[in-house]
Structure formats: structure tokens, C-alpha cells
Structure 1
Amino acid sequence: MRYIFGNITSEMEAGVARGRRDWLNALRSRGLGLKTLALALGIVAGAAFAPAHAAEKVTIFAAASLKNALDAINEEWRKETGKETTTSYAASSALAKQIEQGAPADIFISADLAWMDYLAEKKLIKGDSRSNLLGNRIVLVSGKADAAAVEIKPGLDLAHLLGDGRLAMGAVDSVPAGKYGKAALEKLGIWPSVADKVAGAESVRAALLLVSRGEAPLGIVYQTDAAADPGVKVIGTFPEGSHPPIIYPIAITAESKNADAAAYLQFVRSPKAAALFSAQGFAVLE
């Protein structure tokens, strides 16, 4: 058996060699130089020995507030499967627009329902893969360790607390955390007094950084973001009824062809992932 396979292999190699010589002779006859011939030979050799299917990473587009938890989950996925991921973190609005424009994502995790609905209406996600994954809360944070706690309720003089400073929060017309924050401030009757003091950031993590660096005295972020940054202190939590429920949906994109996307989705929904989300302060909905 070894002898037969050896002959077949030798004949195949000889055939490849003859074909390569014929091809290069044809190139020479057209006047191509040695550099071009060498490059062509390299391409042929590379094609002969390249693996049939290179491993493809699962590409995740995820809300910025998920970074700490999802980094830990992606590392567990790598340990269990030996497969890699690549993750882009940004505001859900920015990620949804990138997917709409053809960015090659396999998984989308939004920080609100609205941007997942936006892609669903355009048939850019696989509807049967969609589910509500996580919940969260929004809080008021200060960059001062000795900042006094406040009760967030109607009549809170937030403008006085800000003084000459600005209120850091996600852009209120697009970033989910900013939209939740504005809705809460409106519900509590506080918005008119601080609307012109808002420093709108491109993402909730960017808003968090403004407070952590001392560039803004106060900010509205998710409680999970506050827990991830030792440079801020939570001084108040917004009542749940003051804003729409904070829900993170997840789905596979319609254009994904990655065979591992469904398995990764199930891993993110697994008890092991749930424990890692909970450790960062998220409420696991499944």
C-alpha cells in the first residue's frame, strides 16, 4: 500500500513540476523578466502548499460598555475552542451604521433595542438568532473620591452640583447611554436646567473617561462602566422607572458566512458567559 501511494505521490509531483515548467516557459516566451518569473514561481509554490481553509475569526461589533466582560468571555472562548475573535467596541449607533455600510461583522450586540431594530428593519440581521441578552442601570458618577451621595429624584438641583462644569454623557441623539440619560432627566424635570451643560461624547466609555480624567465634574454612565473604572465614584442611581428598560440584544448579521458564528452566539448565552457578565454588574436576561 505504501508503495502504491508512493508512486501516485511521485507521479502527482512530477505532473505539477511539468506543468510549472510549461507555464514558466510560456511566460519566458512573452518576454517577462527574471523577477516576474521568480514572483510567479513563488505564487505557484504558495498555492500548492497553502491550507485549503484558513481559520476565520468571529468578528463581533459590540457596545463600548461591554468591553471588560466581553474581553473575558472571548478569552474563555479561545481557551475552550482554540479559535480567535476580533471585536470592535463603539457606540451602538456607530456600529449599526457601519454594518449598514457593509462592514464585515458576524455578531452585533447593541446597548439598546432601537439600533437592533434599525438593522432588523433593513434585513441586516438574522431574525431567528436575535435575543435579549443583558440588562443594566444608569448612574451619576463623580471623579472625586469624597463626593457626597445624592438622591436622584424630581427637584434635584443637578445644575448647582455641576457649577461651572459640564455633564459628561453619551451623545443624547444617538448613543444609547445618552438617550437613556436624557430620558431620565426629562422624566424627573431636570433636563431644562442642564441641557446647555451637557458634554456629549461619542460613546459611554468616552463620557466615563471625561469624568475619570477630571475634565467633567459629573457624568451619566452605566453602572457597569463605573465599576470598571476606579477613577470614578457612583454618587446616585437613576430610578428604573425614569427611563426605558436598558436591554442589550444580540444577533448574527445577515451577511455573516462564518460557520463559527452560531457556536459563538451560544457560548455568549452559556452559564459560563453569564457568570462573567454578572461579575461586571450586568443583569443576565436569559
Structure 2
Amino acid sequence: MWIDASYDHLCARLRKVGVAAATALLLTVPGAQADDGIIVFAAASLRDAMDDITALYPGEVAVSLGSSGLLARQISEGAPADVAVLANTDWMDWLEREGVVDPARRVALVGNALVLIAPANAPDLSEARTEALLARLDGGRIAIGQTQSVPAGMYGRAWLEASGMWDSMMPHLAETDNVRAALALVARGETPLGVVYATDAAAEPDVRVVYRVPEGMHDPIVYPAAPLSDAGAPFMAFLQGAEAQKVFEAHGFVPLTVVP
């Protein structure tokens, strides 16, 4: 069951009622009962893979999708979650410093790649340089996750900075709350270009990859995962198993850990 990125609204309610009442509020969502299932907070870019993985898991799982920064902040505030799978090591590091994540139980689960996309009927992009990007935008914007908090946006900013394009392209960015929102803007033709993960591009038939960002232009894209409760340990083990890792691979992720 998905609680989805509309969890933003739920988070606002959690802040209003206070951490003490957070568990009671979340457990009113059908399928998220603590007595017969677990709650997983996962980066929005994992939607399709997590859909298939939870269908294979022999227990009840409720998944809340959103940007890694949002999810990490809510976890630190006490929102009920049994497992966290984020799209950036910085946010998991922060949860460690907050004392929420046990570093001994944390793993690097899967990897990904960063790409520049355009609507499916768009022509190839000859080069990813400032002049070429501005010409393709033609007054429009590049859809990208928030460059200060959304991992895909942070990786995208690192690429633009490393390539010397940040100052020129910054005024032309349309920053979104998560990477799937950036994907949707391009798929609907509302922006001519977007920066997303390769797995997002593969999941959306209305976009095409016009440029693959070299890996050396940003930090490695690693999805760290950790159990946040003893109840989440079995699902965490399942995520590392061969069955789940095959699902990740089928969706374009790079398996980093497999436990037989």
C-alpha cells in the first residue's frame, strides 16, 4: 500500500498534532497497522521497484514515498517508520548523527545514474553545454529536484557546477519537491528538459534520455537503507536478498549488496 508523496500533507498534520500523536494518526491509514505490517519510508525514485518488491514480500508493508530530505526530517521528528531507504548518503549520515540510525545496520543497497531528459518527440541534444541547453530551453526551464535538499537535484547541481554551467543555468531551473515531480513536468511537456535518474527515465514512456551525465561529475549515486526498528529487520533483509535485488536490477538500478 502506498501512502505516497502526498505524505507532505500528512507530515503537516503530524507537526500540528505533535510527535506523541504521530503514530496514532498514521495508523488510521488502512494497511499501515503496526500489529500486522511494517512502514517503509522510501525515496520517490524507488516507486516502481518498491511496488514490485512489496508485492513479493510475504507480509504487510505500507510505503511512504517522498524526497529523501523530507522523509529524513520526519523520521528525526519521530514519525513512525520501520525501514528507511533514501537516495542520498548525506541524509542517512544526518540521521546517524541524530541518533536515529545504527551505523552497524546500515547498508548501501543500490546505485543509479543521472540523465538529462526531454519529451519523447524531442530531437537529440548534440552537446550538454550552456549554449546548447539554453537554445533547447528557448525561454523554458530545466525541471530538477530542489538543489539544496532533493538528492537528484543535489547531484544535478554538482554536475552543473563541475561543468562550469551552474551560474548560467541556475536562473533557468524549475526546482521540484522530488525527482518524480521533475519527471512529470517533462512528460507533460511543461518543461523542455529535466534532470532525473536513469531509472525514472526508463519508467516513463513520454520522455527520452538526451544526455547521460558522466559519473565523475557528481558523487556516486548510492541508496542507503537501514532498519529503524526490530520489526523492520525482516524486510530489510528481504531488500538485500537475491529476489529483491533482481527486481531493482530489472528497473535499472545497480545492485550493490546481495545476501543469499
* Closer/same/farther in 2, CA of residues 86 and 217 from structure 1, 3 Å limit: same
Amino acid at match of 1:284: P
* CA offsets 1:30-81 (integer angstroms, 9 cap, x no match): xxxxxxxxxxxxxxxxxxxxxxx9843110000000010011000000xxx2
Q: Determine the structure 2 residue equivalent to 1:161.
A: 136
Give the 5 Å matches for 1:1-286: 55-77=35-57, 81=58, 83-152=59-128, 157-253=132-228, 256-258=229-231, 261-286=232-257
Contact kept, 8 Å, 1:156 with 1:190, in 2: the verdict is: no
Deviation at 1:151, TM superposition (A): 3.6
Contact kept, 8 Å, 2:130 with 2:169, in 1: the verdict is: no
Q: TM-score, normalised by structure 1?
A: 0.76
Question: Structure 1 stretches of 5 or more lacking a match?
Answer: 1-52
* Closer/same/farther in 2, CA of residues 257 and 161 from structure 1, 3 Å limit: same
Contact kept, 8 Å, 1:159 with 1:193, in 2: the verdict is: no
> What is the aligned-residue RMSD (CA, Å)?
1.5
Amino acid at match of 1:91: S
Amino acid at match of 2:216: G
Contact kept, 8 Å, 1:177 with 1:221, in 2: the verdict is: yes
Amino acid at match of 1:266: A
Contact kept, 8 Å, 1:168 with 1:208, in 2: the verdict is: yes
Amino acid at match of 2:74: Q
Higher helix proportion, which one? 1
Deviation at 1:103, TM superposition (A): 0.4
* CA offsets 1:144-170 (integer angstroms, 9 cap, x no match): 424214343x66631222111010000
Amino acid at match of 2:248: F
Aligned-pair identity (%): 42
Amino acid at match of 2:52: A
Q: Work out the number of aligned pairs and report it.
A: 225
Q: Structure 1 residues 139-148 or 98-107, which shifts more?
A: 139-148
Q: Which runs of 4+ in 1 moved over 4 A?
A: none
Q: Determine the structure 2 residue equivalent to 1:10.
A: none
Q: Distance in 2 between matches of 1:275 and 1:161?
A: 37
Contact kept, 8 Å, 1:171 with 1:201, in 2: the verdict is: yes
Question: Structure 2 stretches of 5 or more lacking a match?
Answer: 1-32
Q: Distance in 2 between matches of 1:151 and 1:68?
A: 30
Q: TM-score, normalised by structure 2?
A: 0.83
* CA offsets 1:9-31 (integer angstroms, 9 cap, x no match): xxxxxxxxxxxxxxxxxxxxxxx
